Amino acid sequence: MYVNGRRTPPGLFATHQQSERMIGETEHRTKPAVQPVPASPGLPRILLPGVPIMKKVALYSRSNRKMDRSATPRSAVPPSLVQRAASTTDQGAHHGPASGPAPASSPSDFNSRKATGRSTRVPVAPVVPVPSLDRRPSFLARHDRTISVFAALLLIALLMGYAAVQPPSVVLTQKDIDASVTHTLDHTVLPSPEARAYRQLRRSVVRVRQLGHDKLSDKDQVKGVGTGVVIVDKGVILTSLHVVAGSEKVQVVFDDGTVSEAIVTRTQPENDLAVLQAKTLPDDLVAATMRSTQYLAPGDRVIAVGYPFDIGPSVSAGVVSGLGREYRSPDRGQVLSNLIQFDAAANPGNSGGPLATMDGEVVGIVTAILNPTDQGVFIGIGFAVPIENAAAAAGTSPF
């Protein structure tokens, strides 16, 4: 091949048309738009093995603004290759076309020809194409909107599925509530008011024993039994005076089984009342709640709690038969006034016990029963001292 009348080794140089074709192929392989550098007048485009072609690269930024940059070659042309190209060009001018590659010339030959004034054209160093600065974004960056929409749809589907498996809410009406209450009352056995009142009161009720010394056995014997009620949690107990009258010792037994000796601290004979103080107290002693008789009326339901015939504690229920009654004791001839009459069963042993309302609040202290016969048992009429009088006997206000 001859270039400007000089022979070039085959495979080393290319014509201008071949260079343009190769540049087009390079542009096809690379993304950025590349324009070839125009050839100098009288000098063809030269390609060197291993050296990319110099070209002007038009880069497009992501903001679509065109930027023109002249790429800088990544590697310079080796000096030996430049000398080889110059030597080969000079030899082609003397020897004409040749089929094989021309021998390489030494640096001394190159310098001698330069000194003689021969024209030596050194090949123009090609420009290395600069890769595009606009790299392709990652998969997530390119599909971020699609992924966001898909995630939102998936979340909505999950919420709808969760709502579908939940049981539907039930709106209760007043009719449903009434039916439920009726069903509960019909199928559930509720404790009676009397039972609730007794549970409220039972821990405050004590058994009172009158003790006497037996000379034959040299032991204390029970001479009489009555009932008492704790009105102060420090062991202050109210009972009937005739229960402890004439006793040598008084013993009380609490609801939890604690046995204690007690002493009589006060008496009120006109109301047949006595106040005891226990020496030993249980840990969970509970005082009874007292209620005024101001709002008590005939027909109100009441309970009487005690130890009739030393059996108990026993509960009997009845109503208030009257208020402000009087009673004369057949044994002592004493008259008691302002009494509460009731029809709850009471027998010997109930004396000193509480008469309480359905709330478990004490309104009186059972003191006597009326029986026209000499049997001394209950026939339907009992009497209790109002709690106001009992509190006065204790020296404190009950309310």
Q: Which residues have a catalytic role annotated?
A: 242, 272, 351
Strands 249-253 and 236-240: unpaired
Residue whose token pair is 């003790």: 211
Taking only Cα atoms into account, the Rg of the chain, rounded to an integer number of angstroms, comes to 63
Phi-psi region at 97: left, alpha or beta (left = phi > 0; alpha = psi -120 to 50): beta
Cα(285)–Cα(310) distance, integer angstroms: 22
Letter string b/e over residues 333-372, b meaning 16 or more CB atoms within 10 A of that residue's CB: eeebeebbbbbbbbbbbbbbbbbbbbebbbbbbbbbbeee
The residues near 237 (Cβ < 8 Å, ≥ 6 apart) are 206, 208, 228, 229, 230, 231, 252, 262, 275, 276, 277, 278
Cβ atoms of 307 and 206 within 8 Å: the answer is no
3-state secondary structure (DSSP) of residue 109: helix
Six token digits for residue 357:
């309302």
Give the H/E segment covering residue 60. Answer: strand 55-60
